[in-house]
Amino acid sequence: MAELTSIKNIGPAFEASLKSVGISTAEELRALGADAAYAKLLEGGSKPHFIGYYVLHMALQGRPWNDCKGEEKKALRRSFDKIKASSFDENRSELERFLNQIGVIEAPQK
């Protein structure tokens, strides 16, 4: 199994975030895909950030992080907004997000 950092654009900090939500290998990340992996990050308490989202997409395509432009970037922004709306509860405290991550409290009903 390959390390997450074997994927271009995935550094130690991003690797730690991914591991904190149960994604521990490059193969797991590729199988999950960028959208599902990013949703897991948000559900695990990470704050939404569009650049991180599209960097993840570019990484899984083997492209430079700043290669995303024009219509492709606009389409990714729409996808990001949908994931953010369904996976991140800004009203939930950091403690509540952590408790949810470890299964102590339920996620809010959509």
Residues 38/96, Cβ–Cβ less than 8 Å: no
Residues 58/51, Cβ–Cβ less than 8 Å: no
Is pLDDT larger for residue 27 or for residue 44? Answer: 27
Domains of the chain in sequence order: 4-101 (1.10.150.20)
Write out pLDDT tens, residues 42-85: 888 888 899 999 999 999 999 998 898 999 999 999 999 988 88
Q: Which two tokens stand for residue 34?
A: 């960028």
Write out pLDDT tens, residues 30-50: 999 999 999 999 888 888 899
Q: What angle do CA 2, 55, 37 make, to 5 degrees?
A: 60
pTM of the model: 0.77
- Confidence at 89, pLDDT banded by 50, 70, 90: low
pLDDT value for 97: 56
